[in-house]
Structure 1
Amino acid sequence: MSDDDEITLGRIETEVALLMRFGEATRRATGTAEHRVLDRAAYVILRHLDNSGPQNVSALAAQLNLDGSTVTRQVSALQRDGLITRTPDPSDGRGTVISATTAGLQRMAAVRSARTRLYGDMLADWSDEDRATLAALLGRLNQALVNRNRRR
């Protein structure tokens, strides 16, 4: 690896670390209640169920790269709050299929909308091309992370 590559990769590492830190700080500091109607874990699970449809805990855990027991705890909390339902898994009588409820999808949509507005405000002076490039590069980075975790 060349010195230039090492410098560039060091910058990427620093920027990703800052992105995660500032993103969480921004979420916590945002004054609107819309951002707080779901914690991050609930939001991610509901977004995934909205995009991929009902599924069992094992599939959900695999897609989110989480331990099954972690997802089970999160799903139990979502069920207590009426944001998901569990039904028997037709392919495995011992398991259950997790589905988002209307209330869960409504809360998730409210958070997504609030976050979209927030990013729209923060990136208002960026060109459409720059925003599209950022979206594409973040998508590639996330896919690289998924691919790396699948190889483990």
Structure 2
Amino acid sequence: MSDDDNAEEVTLGRIETEVALLMRLGEATRRASGSAEHRVLDRAAYVILRHLDTAGPQNVSALAARLNLDGSTVTRQVSALQRDGLIARTPDPADGRGTVISPTPAGLQRMAAVQAARTRLYGDILADWTGDDRDTLAELLHRLNEALDARNRRR
């Protein structure tokens, strides 16, 4: 193995470790947050509402495909959201036999509260970072998420 190959292997190992820590510490930070705003939605509900807010009404199949989840998993999550009054089902305009899901005003309000709480939390955590460092982190995380999403879509 050449020195360049070895250096690349070391770098990829560091990335793997840092991503694993990021996921663990991110979840631990969310759970340990003193703010009730972080807990008004579980992670799955938050992700579903964020996607519906951005992409508009979707049927369960499209939602599951976009979130890389099994349809039955999304169906259970959507049922819980509907039971809590956070999403509504309406006839699918493209196919009257089906339904589409959209966030209710209550769902959007809860989602916005969680988003604001998380934004404040990351503002506190990154308070001593420069604006350029924050921008770089945001861009690199975006690129990583795009690469992960593209890989999952190829499968």
* TM-score, normalised via structure 1 length: 0.98
* Number of equivalenced pairs: 152
Pairing 1:148–2:151 present:
yes
Question: What displacement does 1:9 show?
Answer: 0.3
Runs of 4+ off more than 6 Å: none
Give the distance between the partners of 2:140 and 2:65, measured in 1 at CA: 23
Pairing 1:22–2:2 present:
no
Amino acid at match of 2:126: L
* SS across alignment from 1:55: coil
Structure 2: gaps spanning 5 or more residues = none
Amino acid at match of 1:117: R
Pairing 1:74–2:82 present:
no
For residues 105-152 of structure 1, the C-alpha deviation after alignment (integer angstroms, 9 at most, x for no partner) is: 000000000000000000000000000000000000000000000111
Give the distance between the partners of 1:136 and 1:68, measured in 2 at CA: 31
Amino acid at match of 1:53: G
1:128 corresponds to which residue? Answer: 131
1:81-120 paired onto structure 2 within 5 Å: 81-120=84-123
**Structure 2 residue corresponding to 1:51, chosen from 44, 51, 54:** 54
* TM-score, normalised via structure 2 length: 0.96
Amino acid at match of 1:22: L
- Seq. identity, %: 82
- CA-based RMSD of the aligned residues comes to 0.9
Question: What displacement does 1:89 show?
Answer: 1.3
1:8 corresponds to which residue? Answer: 11
2:40 corresponds to which residue? Answer: 37
Amino acid at match of 2:43: R
Q: Quick check: 30-39 or 86-95, which moved more?
A: 86-95
